[in-house]
Amino acid sequence: MTIGTTRPTSRRTPAPRGPATRRDTRRPGEPRRVPVQQRQAVIRYWFAERLLAVLSGHRPVHWMLNHTVGEAYDQLSRLAPRTPLRARGTRPVIRECGEHRPEDGVIEAFARIAAGEQLRAMAFRLEQGPDRRWKCAAVEVGTPA
């Protein structure tokens, strides 16, 4: 052993971070915050899609259990077995969804639902609870013309 000599430095490069197949060196940025108005505008569509799935027979009623309050779950339980929004041959889709806000924490919404040649209407009321979560409080489905 000689005194005064230093160990050779390592020529290894640091281990890569991220998946082995990743080629770019960019890193994820800060998560983008969605403005409150933009999130709330989507809420009516989110509920409309879920209600449509239940009322067309694509999902069971209990799928909405944690998203309903009061009479709404009972209304869904009565409506769902008849599958009022089921269409033959094509899956129903939401063509339009609008809202009215009669007071803070309440949204009265409607959805126009198309299935083939048929156009149906669905109305529902959303209420914001003390935990700031939206829940469906009422549901109605229009009869075919």
Task: State the DSSP string of 29-84.
Answer: -PPPPPPHHHHHHHHHHHHHHHHHHHHTTSS-GGGGGGGB-TTHHHHHHHHGGG-T
Which pLDDT tens digit goes with each residue over 75-132?
A: 999 998 888 888 777 889 999 999 999 999 999 999 999 988 889 999 999 999 999 9
**36-141: which CATH topology?**
Nuclear Transport Factor 2; Chain: A, (3.10.450)
Residue 25 corresponds to which tokens in the numbers above? 């060196």
Length of the chain: 145
pTM score over 0.75: no
Q: In whole angstroms, how far apart are CA 22 and each of 16, 25, 29, 44?
A: 9, 8, 16, 38
Mean pLDDT to the nearest integer, 39-44: 73
Mean pLDDT to the nearest integer, 62-80: 93
Boundaries of every domain in the chain = 36-141
